[in-house]
Amino acid sequence: MGDAQVTLPDGWVSPQEAGELENLAREGTVLEVGAWLGLSTVTMAHVAKRLVSVDHHRGSTEHQSGGACHDATLVNQFGDVDTLPRFRMNLRQNRALDKVIIIVASFEDIAPLLAPESFDLVFIDADHTTDAVLRHAKLAGDLVAIGGALAFHDANWPTVRAAIEAYSLELVVPVERHEVGSLHVLRFI
């Protein structure tokens, strides 16, 4: 198969946000929570040392039938949303497969098994309900190296913003923060 007509996967990361993800991921170890079809994955994998990508690949609420982001071409023969085959193909086409460790699991299940590993960047872009983002932030916070960053996508969603604010109140380590587009970045100093 030729690689001549490589296109980036579909996704919701803007070019400006992709540039910041590249800055944060460059030469580092990265944990991604929420991959969808791999746009953020290939963006970071191209510059990172190593990337662990976690997604159960069943889609979030908005991806299910009737949801705002549903794509009927991603429904398998059992009627389930299943992004894994296209995700793997997109990584292959974008020459990112060898850089990425793919974990097909909910983050809640796998996060305790990842410790005591720590990452230079943890990127959270999974279930956008306040409860889930807060739960993921707490689990992810334990996996960020000192000097590393925890980045949230879609921080302009009120549900995500509420979770970031709640998480920030519980932080016991000092952080510096900045925003690029809808990316909210906490640098653990």
The residue ranges that bind ligand SAM (CB under 6 A) are: 11-13, 34-36, 39-40, 54-60, 83, 106-108, 125-127
Candidates 100, 7, 118; CA nearest to 45 is: 100
Question: What distance lies between CA 141 and its chain's CA centroid?
Answer: 14
Q: SS3 for 21?
A: helix
How close are the terminal C-alpha atoms of the chain, in Å?
A: 46
**Do the strands 144-152 and 50-55 form a parallel or antiparallel pair, or are they unpaired?**
unpaired
By beta-carbon proximity to ligand SAM, the closer residue of 73 and 146 is: 73
* Shortest Å distance, C-beta 146 to ligand SAM: 25
Of 1 and 113, nearer to ligand SAM (C-beta) is: 113
Q: Which is nearer to ligand SAM, 28 or 34 (CB)?
A: 34
Least distance in angstroms from the C-beta of 106 to ligand SAM: 4
Residue 108: name the closest of 54, 65, 179 by CA: 54
Cα atoms found within 13 Å of the Cα of residue 38, Cβ hemisphere only? 27
Is 136 an annotated catalytic residue?
no
Q: How far is the CB of 147 from ligand SAM (least distance, A)?
A: 24
Q: Which residue is nearest to ligand SAM (CB)?
A: 11
Q: Which is nearer to ligand SAM, 105 or 171 (CB)?
A: 105
Rounded distance between C-alpha atoms, residue 122 and residue 103, angstroms: 15
Please, what is the minimum distance in Å from the beta carbon of residue 171 to ligand SAM? Answer: 22
Catalytic residue list: 128
